[in-house]
With several copies, the nearest count.
Chain A
Amino acid sequence: MSLAEEFTPVEDDEPDAQARPEELRLLEALLFAAGEPLDEKALADRMPSGTDLRTALRRLQTEYAPRGVNLVRIGNKWAFRTANDLAWLLTHEAIQPKKLSRAALETLAIIAYHQPVTRAEIEEIRGISGAKGTLDVLLEIGWIRPRGRRKAPGRPITYSTNEAFLSHFGLESLTDLPGLDELKGAGLFDGSLPAGFNVPMPSDDPALREDEEPLEEGDLDLTLAPRSDGEEEE
């Protein structure tokens, strides 16, 4: 049963209701029910003759100004619209399940295990150039962050994963990522690995390493710039 059943309009709440001119009732009904904004002629035609439309519209606009619905003029026409400041109320966030591209997943995995890692290093491990688009995707999703610059020619940016990454993949810390033996045990690597093949022990220690230096101001803007679609690797 609904909470509304006990509702009965409380009459004494609006002492001025009686004093409100009938024209205002008519105008608000007309403007509410209309499928499109109405011009003054259309309104005048439908209102009782002798109505002072100017005054009535003005009073109605004033009445509604502080409300969640305003009476607005659009061109030469009038319409009710929800108040501008309430646009947020009329937006609905729909969750859209999306699959990460294979390139993005591989790049993310390399960052997770090899962090801090530069774009060139990712490309070397993957044996494919063009990691920029993928990095931008991952930055946009918010699972990686630029954390510093490598002390090397070109001072490339180093990337690491962040807390959102841990949270999404249900990891307490990067040390929870399985090592080579566990990956082998899970059947993810087959037997034909060369001698000396290794999987790094990832660390998300925020302290910069010896071969890293901090990002400068402006670096973040740069790396978060909207990616150009042409570069995207999907």
Chain B
Amino acid sequence: MTDTGSAEIVALAAEPERAADEPALIVDVEGFEGPLDLLLRLAREQKVDLAKISILALADQYLTFIEEARRLRLELAADYLVMAAWLAYLKSRLLLPEPPGGPGESAADLANALALRLQRLEAIRLAAKRLLERPQLGRDVFQRGAPEPINEIKRPQWSATLYDLLTAYARERQKQALARVRLTTRKVWSLADARAILERLVEVATEWTAIDQYLIEYVVEPSMRATALASSLAASLEMAREGQLELQQATAFAPLYMRRRSAPVPDGTVGQS
């Protein structure tokens, strides 16, 4: 705050050299921070302690300023006009004799409250100034220019729960258990398998031979016997039909004998049942 209030007013008054119908300026952008600021600067003109200031004189100065601004067709922010109205009211109260036991605060109380507000604003401005005079970081004092960053070591924390573990186990075992059942059902002698084996067998079976004996030699697992027998019987019937071998069985469930047929016979001698 280098300029005095009156200097500001002069500057303001001198500034708008323009046609009267041009848009007016807003006073507070011209350097005043609101009506209290303006009052504070006007108060400085009185050159006394703010506590002893004449509020009446101050109100007069303020109202004069407002009138001047109006005469210059300056547009004033609402805050200034509200203050003007309030000061005009205060002035009238101060000039008139106080009605005894009148309502509300006395005019002197109101004037004191205004003086206190001005002092408070001045005090906070002083505080702001002193704050600004302190050594400031990055201007007067400095922090470490090249801080050394903290190395982050990431330590994984595994989130698996017992439930996850058990679910995984059951899922895995169940999957394999079912897969194995499917695997065993596939373990059958196909007709092709049986026939391939029989074709090799008949090479050596020039005499009547019990087919079971051969098969058991080949089929290690007892569980495979049924499928092996069934498939080889079907295959042997097929081969007998083609005239490659002869079959014979004494009774039902008796051993089934077969032998290689030495020469083709027109009439098949398929074994008697």
Contacts and interface: CB of A to CB of B under 8 A. Distances in A.
Interface of A: 29, 32-37, 79-84, 86-87, 90-100, 102-103, 105-106, 108-110, 112-113, 125-129, 141, 167-171, 177-180, 183, 186, 188-194, 197, 199
A81 B177 contact: no
**List of 7 A-B pairs having minimum Cβ-Cβ separation, nearest first:** A127-B36, A128-B34, A35-B147, A109-B169, A109-B128, A188-B170, A33-B142
Contacts, number: 255
Contacts of B175: 127
B129 to A, nearest CB: 8
B256 to A, nearest CB: 33
Given A96-B155, A188-B123, A188-B170, 18 more contacts: A33-B145, A94-B154, A103-B33, A105-B160, A105-B168, A109-B165, A109-B172, A112-B131, A126-B172, A168-B138, A168-B160, A169-B131, A171-B162, A177-B127, A178-B131, A186-B166, A191-B120, A194-B180
A87 B121 contact: no
B116 A188 contact: yes
B261 to A, nearest CB: 45
Given A98-B156, A109-B127, A109-B165, A79 B143 contact: yes
B92 interface: no
27 contacts: A33-B144, A33-B145, A34-B146, A79-B146, A82-B142, A84-B140, A91-B153, A92-B151, A95-B138, A97-B139, A100-B132, A100-B160, A102-B168, A103-B33, A106-B168, A126-B34, A126-B172, A126-B176, A127-B79, A170-B135, A170-B141, A171-B162, A179-B126, A180-B127, A186-B123, A188-B119, A194-B181
B200 interface: no
A87 B138 contact: no
Contacts of B177: 193-194, 197
A90 B150 CA distance: 5
Q: Is the interface of A mostly helix, strand, loop or mixed?
A: mixed
Contacts of A127: 34-37, 39, 79, 83, 117, 121, 175-176, 179
B113 A192 contact: yes
Given A96-B157, A105-B168, A177-B127, A125 B121 contact: yes
A102 B146 contact: no
A171 B160 CA distance: 13
Nearest to A164: B137
Nearest to B116: A191
Given A94-B153, A97-B157, A99-B159, A109 B137 contact: no
A125 B167 CA distance: 15
Q: Is the interface of B mostly helix, strand, loop or mixed?
A: helix
B90 to A, nearest CB: 15
B101 to A, nearest CB: 22
Nearest to B80: A128
Contacts of A87: 135, 139-141, 151
Nearest to B184: A194
A33 B148 contact: yes
A100 B124 contact: no
B109 to A, nearest CB: 9
B47 interface: no
A126 B34 CA distance: 8
B272 interface: no
A105 B83 CA distance: 23
B137 A167 contact: yes
A97 B134 contact: no
Contacts of A36: 145-147
Given A92-B152, A95-B138, A128-B34, A113 B127 contact: yes
